[in-house]
Homo-oligomer: A and B are copies of this chain.
Amino acid sequence: MSTWAPSASISTRITLSDIVQTTHSPDPAYETPVLQLISESRSKGYDSVCLPLTTDAWKKRWTDMCIVPETAGDEKRKRESRRESRMFVSRDTTADKKAEKWRENPCFELDEVTITRLGLWYTLLRTAIEGLTEASSSDEAQNVTAIISEWLELDTEDDWIRCDAEIALQQELAYASYLNIQTAILPPPRNREYVSSYARIINACLRKIPYMNLAVRLPVYDPHAIQDPARPSTSVPGTPRSGIFPGGLKLVNPAKSLEAQIDAAWEVWDLIRTICEYNTRLSLALDLGPPLPPSLSVLSKWSAESVRYIFLPASTFIANAKGYPVLPKPTQTFIRDSMAHRPNIVLANVSSSLHSRGGEDAYSQYIKHLETTSPIVQSTKTAGTVENFAQGYQDFLQAPLQPLMDNLHSITYETFEQDPVKYRNYEEAIYAALMNLPQGTRIVICVAGAGRGPLVARSLKAIDRSKRNAFIYAVEKNPNAYVTLQNRLRSEWQRKVELLFGDMRQVNIPEKADILVSELLGSFGDNELSPECLDGAIRFLKPGGISIPSSYTAHLAPLSSSKLYNEARSVKDLKSLETPYVVMFQAVSILSGDGGGASGKCGLKIQECWEFEHPRRDGVLNEQGLPPTNTHNTRSAKLSFHIPHAGVLHGLAGYFEAVLYGNIGLSIHPLRKDSISKDMLSWFPLFFPLREPLYLPSNSELHVSIWRLTNQRQVWYEWHAESFLSIQGTSFELSTSLSTPSLGSTPRANSILTMSPSPAAPSPLIDAIEIPLERRAHKEDAEPSRMMNGLLKIGHTGLHNADGRSSWIGL
């Protein structure tokens, strides 16, 4: 399980000019310049290297074969393929013939690739022959990530250039695969109009090349779109801000706000990932070169995506007061939060002395500092936290328990009895209830569903503390746990407790109770049939008696997670996408925001579905004191969520909150759990998956219907969602808010550059002082439009778990 501990690996990016330089001054200890560079990187402490796979010679040959040479003075003619051009111009076909021969049998010449047989491959061979251990030279090949030719235009408008770029891409990937390279970084998508072509090509490559991982390079947004062209883009003149990437997304409109641009970049990724059918070998290499917005909510969606690489060119770093490289605060926060996903952080240009202090080591040291100070890393290392307790369970789908239908095993009770918070709160609730009952009179407590006895033990403690005269009946239907109870009765509890064996819906109790204590709650509150069980047990209670818990509520939020979607559908049975799971969320993002939405009618980020109260205030009962039907335990909810940023819905997150007694409760509601039952371990949230992801644009509304249904034998949930856009008012403010240039606020990038050094910052790890900016984004958050003229339906899911076909809880 320790392999799950959050941490990053750090890579360095080797460039073609690095290789050329090494060629000019080779170290005879190495067989090739590449081997030398890799070895040097390792000795500098990098875990791995990123390396361009091809040389300029390849670029030249490909271009000569496939593209019409640009003639001087002919600037109006667009760059075009020889094929397109051939339709109209009669000319020498030597290049065409060469190209067609290449298309028939694509093959590199020796000087067109950086890694050759004499390099890594030869070393691998030697390793095998000479029996060197894996840790030695063969490791070098394993730790190389190949960067595919950046100039390949997989999404250009020209059909024929795209076609030839696809052949070249397949050729490069086949060669990388031959070299046993595990991951290749792909050229970034550049043209929104043809992203579907880019994605189709990547998908074809994933299908053709069976084992290799492919990572799509993607700038978090196009930095050029918000830069003031009159000013230099970084603190070091002449270095392009985007650092690693020669091109950026060309789709973005300069008038768009930063957040809309980030949404647009994500939208490109979403399209690629969708077209590649959420292939688990496809991941993201997110370029954090451009400065991030101070409000990180727009970035939270990346945590639901497979971000395997984070590119950080030296130019992203700013200098702190001492001149050491540090990251701008939002980037820091993003990196710290990303540690949960164990990214490979790729540093580039770090040997070029962009910052005055610390040298090359300062960059990786700073990353390691971010790792150490990451909240997720810290809580994972702290005993008693859920993160520490549940290592290895992140994003792991578990079928919810059915303790009514199945008899739990001792080990399951053991696990849940470890929760200090839950039982502490139960004890406090019982204590408070006892204190509200008169001293001196005999008080009867009934523990309904005693299990191995933790609530009996806590009740006894509460009785003791409250100095009340109380007796306990403990009801349990699990014959195996009942043996443990008998043992504890004899050894610990003696005459203070009477055990009753049987289902609480059937057994009889010798006298009515003042307090009925139960722990029948599931992750969604009622999903382990607490309402139905307590319907059966509430007859034990005197009129006006107390139930602990006295009520509980189920809560829901829309959730995005490529990982959970893939996990749920990895089970071949399609029904797995209609079954709720218990999951410790990690690679997820909650899509909803607060603020009413475009219609002004949306609820909170996380919304309550329904409530159960015990005892029921009223109801028809039969002679046995039981309800004739279970129809009163049906529930339904229709919830409206505001979706501030574009995202893709993969399911719903379910939580519960319970009132035990008075103001003592239990909660796994993400925003309230820490104030109600911090560090409680017993419940992970519930995940209601969707069969098909639902795309949600920025500023849309999601209307979720969920039903708790029942028949004579079962209880089950069904769920469904519809998406809407406001068709009037200012729901589309994202595109309009920045369309007038007169809205004067300093672009973020420039503000970072004009900061003044702070004399009070002595450590290389202390942050630079930043001027807050992007106030507009903040203002929009604070004052959402309330105007509402109507909603336009834009999409829906199917009905899930119709008629309980895939999952139900047995009564």
When chains A and B are docked, how far (Å) is the Cα of A167 from the Cα of B709?
12
Interface check A774, CB cutoff 8 A: no
Assess whether A159 is in contact with B725, with CB atoms less than 8 Å apart: no
Q: List residues of chain B with CB within 8 A of the CB of A193.
A: 638
State whether the Cβ of A150 lies closer than 8 Å to any Cβ in chain B. no
Question: With an 8 A cutoff between CB atoms, is A617 at the interface?
Answer: yes
* B802-A203 in contact (CB<8A): yes
A103 at the interface (CB under 8 A from B): yes
Kindly list chain B residues whose C-beta atoms are within 8 Å of the C-beta of A796.
Answer: 271, 274, 695
CB neighbours of A646 from chain B (8 A): 793
Interchain nearest-CB distance for A652 vs B (Å): 14
Taking CB atoms, residues of chain B closer than 8 Å to A468 are none
Check A790–B253 contact: CB distance below 8 A. yes
Q: How far is the CA of A720 from the CA of B198 in the complex (A)?
A: 12
Query: Does A197 lie within 8 Å of B728, measured CB to CB?
Result: no
Q: Is the CB of B636 within 8 A of A197?
A: yes
What per-residue 1/0 map shows which CB atoms of A179-202 lie under 8 Å from chain B? Answer: 000000000000001101101100
> Residue on B with the closest CB to A695?
B795
Contact indicator A200/B620 (Cβ below 8 Å): no
A interface, CB within 8 angstroms of B: 83, 86-87, 90, 93, 96-97, 99-101, 103-104, 159, 162-163, 167, 193-194, 196-197, 199-200, 203-204, 207-208, 253, 267, 271, 274-277, 617-620, 627-629, 631-632, 634-636, 638, 646, 692, 695, 697-698, 700, 705, 707, 718, 720, 722-723, 725, 727-728, 732, 734-736, 739, 789-790, 792-796, 798-799, 802-803, 805
* With known contacts A628-B104, A735-B789, A802-B200, A275–B93 Cβ distance under 8 A: no
Q: Are B697 and A792 interface neighbours, CB within 8 A?
A: yes
Known: A277-B802, A799-B203, A803-B208. A197 touches B793 (CB 8 A): no
Asked if residues B720 and A628 are in contact (CB atoms below 8 Å), the reply is no
A208 to B725, CA, bound (A): 36
Least Cβ distance of A298 to chain B in Å? 16
For the complex formed, measure the closest distance between the CB of A278 and the CB atoms of chain B, giving whole angstroms.
10
- A208, A739, A803: residue with the most chain B Cβ atoms closer than 10 Å: A803
Contact A718 B277 (CB under 8 A): no
Q: In the bound complex, what is the Cα–Cα distance between A335 and B697 (angstroms)?
A: 39
- Is A100 within 8 A of B196, CB to CB? no
Contact A197 B705 (CB under 8 A): yes
Chain B residue contacts of A267, Cβ below 8 A: 793
Q: Is the CB of A167 within 8 A of B631?
A: yes
Q: Are B634 and A159 in contact (CB under 8 A)?
A: yes
Copies in the complex: 2
Contact between A638 and B194, CB atoms less than 8 A apart = yes
Q: CB distance A634 to B163 under 8 Å? A: yes
Complex Cα distance, B697 from A86, in Å, reads 43
Q: Which residues of B contact A103 (CB under 8 A)?
A: 628-629, 631
Decide if A620 touches B93 in the complex (CB within 8 Å). Answer: yes
Query: What separation, in Å, do the CA atoms of A707 and B194 have in the docked complex?
Result: 12
The 4 A-B pairs at the shortest CB distance, nearest first, are namely: A727-B732, A275-B799, A100-B620, A196-B705
Least distance between A642 CB and chain B CB atoms (Å): 16
Contact partners of A739 in chain B: CB under 8 A? 789
**A97 in contact with B732 (CB, 8 Å):** no
Contacts of A636 in B (CB 8 A): 159, 162, 197
- Is B798's CB under 8 angstroms from A204's CB? no
Do the beta carbons of B795 and A628 come within 8 Å of each other?
no
Looking at the complex, which one of B99, B274, B635, B794 makes contact with A159 (CB distance below 8 Å)?
A: B635
A-B contact pairs, 25 of them (CB 8 A): A87-B617, A100-B628, A104-B628, A167-B631, A196-B720, A196-B799, A197-B705, A200-B705, A200-B718, A200-B799, A203-B799, A203-B802, A203-B803, A275-B799, A277-B798, A646-B793, A695-B795, A697-B793, A697-B794, A727-B732, A727-B735, A728-B736, A735-B790, A794-B794, A794-B795
**Which of B632, B720, B802 interacts with A83 by CB under 8 Å?**
B632
**Cβ-defined contact, B735 with A629, below 8 A:** no
In the bound complex, CA of A739 to CA of B790 (Å): 11
Judge whether B695 and A199 touch: CB under 8 Å.
Answer: no
Q: Closest CB of chain B to A155's CB: distance in Å?
A: 11
A sample of 8 more A-B contacts (CB under 8 A), given A200-B802, A727-B734, is: A83-B632, A96-B620, A104-B628, A197-B705, A197-B707, A200-B720, A697-B792, A794-B794
Nearest CB on B from A116, distance (A): 27
Q: How far apart are the CA atoms of A718 and B732 in the complex, in Å?
A: 33
Minimum CB–CB distance for A540 against chain B, Å? 22
In the complex, are the beta carbons of A207 and B793 less than 8 A apart? no
Q: Within 8 Å CB of A167, what residues of B? A: 631
A108 to chain B, nearest CB (A): 18
How far is B274's CA from A104's CA once the two chains are assembled, in angstroms? 48
Cross-chain contact B104 with A629 (CB below 8 angstroms): yes
How far apart are the CA atoms of A803 and B170 in the complex, in Å?
A: 13
Kindly provide the distance from the CB of A701 to the nearest chain B CB, expressed in whole angstroms: 12
Docked CA distance A435–B101 (Å): 41
Q: Which B residues lie within 8 Å of A723 (CB)?
A: 794
CA distance A628 to B789 in the complex (A): 61
Whether B735 contacts A277 by the Cβ 8 Å rule is no
Q: Is the CB of A695 within 8 A of B100?
A: no
Complex alpha-carbon distance, A692 and B693, angstroms? 11
A87: chain B residues within 8 A (beta carbon): 617-618
With a cutoff of 8 Å between Cβ atoms, the chain B residues found around residue A617 in the complex are 86-87
- A277 near B799 (CB under 8 angstroms)? yes
- Chain B residues within an 8 Å CB radius of A163: 631, 634
Residues of B within 8 A of A86 (CB): 617-619
Please measure, in the bound complex, the distance between the C-alpha atom of A179 and the C-alpha atom of B619, giving whole angstroms: 35
Q: Would you call B795 and A207 a contact (CB within 8 A)?
A: no
By the criterion CB–CB under 8 Å, are B101 and A275 in contact? Answer: no
Report B-chain residues with C-beta under 8 Å of the C-beta of A99: 620
- Separation of A632 and B739 alpha carbons in the complex (Å): 44
Known contacts A207-B803, A725-B794: A97-B253 contact under CB 8 Å: no
Q: Chain B's nearest CB lies how many Å from the CB of A275?
A: 4
> Which B residues are in CB contact (< 8 Å) with A100?
620, 627-629
Residues of B within 8 A of A197 (CB): 636, 705, 707
